[in-house]
Amino acid sequence: MTDFSEILQIVGLSILVSGTSTLIGSVVGVPLGVLVALRKFRGRNFVRTVAFTFYGFPPVLAGLLVFLILSRGGPLGFLGFLFTPIGMILAQSVIVMPIVMGITISAMMTVEKRLHDTSLALGANERQWRTTALHDARVGVFTAVMVGFGRAISEVGTVLIVGGNIRGQTRVLTTAIVLEISQAHYLEATIFGIILFVIAFAVFAFLQRLQAKGVV
């Protein structure tokens, strides 16, 4: 059975891991998406295709990849991040980044098609055009971050492989649900499910409120 303090710890770790990985994925994914969408360079279409392929990258594969990199024999094994929240954050960032990047590319390309000539015709230089495009695509970019967070908070395979679902250390809401179901603790699993839903709802409601107020 899981006590209240443990539930709080699981909820806290879920928010910390998902929030941090969304932040990292967005900090990397948004600028890369802008760059790929707006910069004309050799092989741009190939990079776009790769980005969209990773958009649908299977989480279990991402988990395996990060596991191999962080395991004792792996290139970053000496850091000791395997079965730690840091390792889980890294793994989820690998999942979130392509999603944020892919949606950002789509949003920016739509804006480019619609506004590029208008912006230049009004006297924008390339730097000013990029700023304009990012500003105009802000709702799309914001959606990218929201979808990234949604993917992170609901992710189970990656965190299970890299985190190990260790009680009091790397257990998050999704892995706790899997564990409770495997032990036939359906009530506990349902409670965790409701908590997960409420957190996701609260975060999205807050973000949508920001959007409605014109903050983004």
Partner 1 sequence: MSAAPLSLEGIHKSFGTKPVLRGLDAEVQAGEIFSIVGPSGAGKTTALRLLDLLDSPDAGRITFHGKSYPIRSPESLAQRRRMVLVMQNPTVFRATAFENVAYGLWLRGVPDAELRGRVFAGLDFVGLLEAAKESAEKLSGGEQQRIAFARAAVLNPEILLLDEFTANLDPFNVRLLEQSILRYRHETGCTVVIVTHNLFQAKRLADRVALLLDGRFVEVAPAADFFEHPVRPETRAFLSGEMAY
Interface residues toward partner 1, by CB under 8 A: 114-115, 117-125, 128, 132, 135-136, 138-139
**From the CB of 132, what's the least distance to partner 1, in Å?**
7
Compare residues 86 and 115 and give the one whose CB is closer to partner 1: 115
**How many residues would you count in the chain?**
216
Q: Which residue has the tokens 């960032």?
A: 93
Distance CA 216, CA 69 (A): 37
Compare residues 81 and 129 and give the one whose CB is closer to partner 1: 129
Compare residues 84 and 119 and give the one whose CB is closer to partner 1: 119
**From the CB of 99, what's the least distance to partner 1, in Å?**
23
Compare residues 1 and 121 and give the one whose CB is closer to partner 1: 121
**From the CB of 139, what's the least distance to partner 1, in Å?**
7
> Cβ–Cβ contacts within 10 Å for residue 92, how many?
31
Nearest CA among 99, 132, 128, 88 for reference residue 114? 132
Distance CA 64, CA 70 (A): 10
Distance CA 181, CA 26 (A): 33
**From the CB of 206, what's the least distance to partner 1, in Å?**
22
